[in-house]
Structure 1
Amino acid sequence: MLRFDIPPVWSNAARLDGLATFVICAAALLGFPYLVPLLIVQGLVRGFFGHYRCPSHRLYTVLLQKFGAAGKKENAGAKMFANKLLLIASSVATALYLTGSSMWIVPVSALLAFSFLEAVVSFCAACWAYSLWYQLRGQN
């Protein structure tokens, strides 16, 4: 469902969000797993309160607008859904890490792959699934 009650997001700022997620996931897999809770905070803020309340997203937006590289505006509903999935996956990874399980690598690896796609080719798998879900339900 398209969300018109919240401001749209700039496409390139969303790509930088994906890049930040990619960097945090890569750092976690390279030996810094205690960084993953940062993704919980980002997913919570951007997924439930909106991108415009996330400090990093606001910084990216200001910088990109200053340089005239903000891209196009996109509806925030699908991006908020993607960030709710980020919250879930990073929470699972953190819980697994805190319990001593090495399985925390699985959700972090998935986040790494999907955030890479968002950052590099602007393909948001969660946004695609979100749109497909509403098309299949007949609620365009």
Structure 2
Amino acid sequence: MLRFDVPQVWSNVIRLEAFLTFAVAALALAFNFAWLMALLVALGLVRGFFGHHRCPSHHLWKALMLRANCAGKLEDAGAKMFANKILFIASSVSLALFLSGSALWMVPAGMLVVFATLEWAFSFCAACWVYGAWYRRFPPASA
């Protein structure tokens, strides 16, 4: 379902954000420093529930990439907001598991590494695919 109530996002800015998600999750795993997941919780919260247009880091990356003339093309923000809600959930679960003393915090962090890599390296957003498939299967009722 297209979201017309939020501004569209630039494709390469989203890919850069996916790379940063990959880097943060990979660093957390590599150095066993799960506190880095708190950054992903915050980014997922803002971008997923309030929109990319309200995220300070998104504005920074967008400005830099527009200046460098490499922002890509405009895409619907609805699917990307859904993907960031998944980011929020996965990173929150990872952080909660860490705080409870469980080594299982690495499982959602590892999943973020895999799915963020698919986005930044291959431009395949798994959450966006699920979002589109859901709305093809269950279209919203027209008023």
TM-score of the two chains, using structure 2 as the length reference: 0.95
Q: Which runs of 4+ in 1 moved over 6 A?
A: none
Structure 2 counterparts to residues 3-42 of structure 1, below 5 A: 3-31=3-31, 32-42=33-43
| Structure 2 unmatched ranges of 5 or more | none
1:73-100, CA deviations, whole angstroms, 9 ceiling, x for partnerless residues? 0000000000001000000000000010
Letter in 2 for 1:21: T
- Tell me which amino acid in the other structure corresponds to 1:113: V
Cα distance in 2 between the residues matched to 1:97 and 1:13: 30
Identity, in percent, stands at 56
Residue 45 of structure 2 corresponds to: 44
What pairs up with 1:67-106 in 2 under 5 angstroms?
A: 67-106=68-107
Which segment is superposed worse, 48-57 or 13-22?
48-57
In 1, Cα distance between equivalents of 2:131 and 2:28: 27
What amino acid is the match of 1:30? A
Give the CA deviation at 1:71. Answer: 0.3
Deviation readout 1:27-73 (Å, 9 max, x if unpaired): 00012211001000000000011101111111110011001101000
What is the TM-score when the length of structure 1 is the normalising length? 0.97
- Paired with 2:55 and 2:96, the residues of 1 have a C-alpha distance of 23
Letter in 2 for 1:112: V
Distance in 2 of aligned mates of 1:81 and 1:10: 16
- Count of matched residue pairs: 140
- 2-side partners of 1:63 and 1:83: how far apart? 21
The one-letter amino acid of 2:84's match is N
Match of 2:137 in 1: 136
Q: Give yes or no for the alignment of 1:112 onto 2:94.
A: no
